[in-house]
Amino acid sequence: MKRHWFHFSAPSTFYSLAGRMTPWFLALAVITGLISLYWGFFETPDRLGGSNPQKEYYRIIFVHVGSAWMSMWLYVVVAGWSALGLVFNTRLSYMMAVSVAPTGAIFTFLALFTGAFWGKPSWGTWWDWDPRLTSELVLFFLYVGYLALHSAIDDARRADRAAALLAIVGLVMVPVIFWSINCPDPNQCAALHQRSSMSDIDGNILFGMLGLTFAFWMYSFATSFMRVRSIILEREADTTWVAEQLQKEGVR
């Protein structure tokens, strides 16, 4: 069993596994994403807008909440793979961390972008330097810093280790963001952004929100697997198995 588990820890074997799994994750992302968007925008009119069409902007929660959740979760994944790479010195762990980070940065930017569109009609401003918004912005800078640091170092092994250390240190921002959103005492974290209120959400709205979050999750798998396959080919370019694989795929 152990041998079977570690079988896919080698880049050569994981490359094929990732290639087989990517279409399934993409299909799940597209199907659940379309269903959830339809449900959120067309099956919840009375609950979101009602007789006041100005409140239709609340539909942005279907994208905003899921992207904010994924921004935090994917950073934990990046830090987790980075830690595995540092502890066990596994090449694939570093590759996975680098492949997940761009998708995490995209979701963090999407959370900030949709949050701004929410904030303008809700609060009268595109941005406010409150702890909930600012901590998410810092998380975006951590993603960008991780990617910039990794690309700035020519030696891949040194780049992996340096970026991994940054990712692990920056992990402290995830509980900070979670605390700012779920802070029980409003006097401790006064902010325009409302607190998390999952228990108060109507089930019809929750279905669309969680469905789109699942679609984002499947999309993250698909894009990370596609990206890690490219990284594996780049780093293993001088190996025999890559030459054989490319010949099989008709690249050479």
- Longest Cα–Cα distance of the chain, Å, equals 66
CA distance 26 to 218: 7
User: CA 224: distance to chain centroid?
Assistant: 10
CA distance 239 to 224: 23
Q: What is the pLDDT of residues 183-242, one digit of tens each?
A: 655 555 545 555 555 556 777 788 888 999 999 999 999 999 999 999 999 988 877 777
According to the model, what pLDDT value does residue 11 have? 83
According to the model, what pLDDT value does residue 50 have? 47
Q: CATH number for the domain including 67?
A: 1.20.120
Residue 233: inside a domain, yes or no? yes
Residue 4: inside a domain, yes or no? no
Q: Is the pLDDT of residue 1 over 50?
A: no
DSSP alpha helices (H): ranges in 124-202? Answer: 131-152, 156-170, 173-182
Contacts for 169-175: CB closer than 8 Å, 24+ residues apart: 170/75, 170/79, 170/139, 170/142, 170/145, 170/146, 171/75, 171/76, 171/79, 173/75, 173/135, 173/138, 173/139, 173/142, 174/72, 174/75, 174/76, 174/139
Residue 108 domain boundaries? 18-249
CA distance 55 to 46: 11
Q: What is the pLDDT of residues 39-76, one digit of tens each?
A: 888 877 555 444 444 466 677 888 988 999 999 999 99
CA distance 64 to 73: 14
Is 246:16 a contact under the CB 8 Å cutoff? no
Which residue would you say has higher pLDDT here, 232 or 120? 232
- The model's confidence at residue 247, banded by pLDDT at 50, 70 and 90, is confident
Q: What is the pLDDT of residues 122-165, one digit of tens each?
A: 677 777 777 778 888 999 999 999 999 999 999 999 999 999 99
**Kind and range of the H or E element at 111?**
helix 91-123
The fraction of the chain above a pLDDT of 90, given in percent, is: 49
Is 82:162 a contact under the CB 8 Å cutoff? no
One-letter amino acid at 131 equals P
pTM for this entry: 0.87
Q: Is the pLDDT of residue 181 over 50?
A: yes
Residue 10: inside a domain, yes or no? no
According to the model, what pLDDT value does residue 238 have? 79
How many CB atoms lie under 10 A from the CB of residue 90?
Answer: 17
The count of domains in the chain is: 1
Rounded average pLDDT over 9-30: 91
Residue 5: inside a domain, yes or no? no
